[in-house]
Amino acid sequence: MTRASEALPHHSSSYDGRRLTPKALATRTRIIESATDLFANDGYAAVTVRGIAAETGLSSGAIYATFRGKADLLVEAVRASITEDLATLPASIVKKTLPEIDAYQFTISSSARRQRSRKLLLEAAVAARTDDDVRDQLSTILQARVDDWTAAHTEWKRASGAARGTDMRALTTLLVSIDLGMGVLSALGVETPSPQQSSALVLQLMESLNTSEPVRRAPKRARS
């Protein structure tokens, strides 16, 4: 059986098939991190490449030398955010069962990192409505996330003897939708269940499908 730690995503040192030097990778990561903060805090429409350059201490030319423009940066920010979501799972969580890992994702929903990720995805969804290229790229990234988690949940279903009639893709998509949906509600000022309540309900849902002892398995390495 694949160990959970081997199945987690990693940070790639390549970009568009090109191998990046440590300095170039550090610069690219720094730009994405600053852009992510600005998109999440100020809103995608209000952010400019010049503003991102000022935040990073670089020139606008340096930004354009690494990214095609603001839309490209938004896509890469979402990609990095999703990859980081799994790559930063604590070792103690990686060793747990898949239902417990699912529940943990909701436990940390109030953390600054998760809140930033939700805001970023909300801004990305708005941008995708008017930019077909952004929509297509983000659709590919998010579909890959659903595919990876579906594969992990399908294997958990097989190994644990979970309810045979359960559609794991539908279940996985539902869990992702709940997480993102609560981000939308929070942005609109609507009260949502506490992280503890959400986590307990997700764990209860997953364990209700289980007919035997669950295996410990996390999703396959996320696509870069």
SS3 for 171-219 is: HHHHHHHHHHHHHHHHHCCCCCCCHHHHHHHHHHHHHHCCCCCCCCCCC
pLDDT value at position 1? 33
46: pLDDT strictly greater than 90:
yes
- CA separation for the pair 42, 19 (Å, rounded): 32
Closest CA to 171 of 204, 146, 196, 193: 146
8: pLDDT strictly greater than 80:
no
pLDDT value at position 9? 41
pLDDT value at position 5? 37
Which pLDDT band holds residue 222 (cuts at 50, 70, 90)? low
- CA separation for the pair 160, 204 (Å, rounded): 16
Of the listed ranges 10-14, 25-29, 146-150, 175-179, the least confidently predicted one is 10-14
pLDDT digits (tens, 9 = 90+) for 55-83: 999 999 999 999 999 999 999 999 999 88
pLDDT digits (tens, 9 = 90+) for 90-113: 888 888 889 999 999 899 888 888
209: pLDDT strictly greater than 50:
yes
Closest CA to 46 of 67, 68, 27, 74: 74
pLDDT value at position 165? 84
Torsion of CA 112, 115, 116, 122, to 10 degrees: -170
2: pLDDT strictly greater than 80:
no
Residue for token pair 């009639």: 165
Structural domains in the chain, sorted by start: 4-208 (1.10.357.10)
Which pLDDT band holds residue 20 (cuts at 50, 70, 90)? confident
pLDDT value at position 78? 96
Percentage above 90 pLDDT, the chain:
61
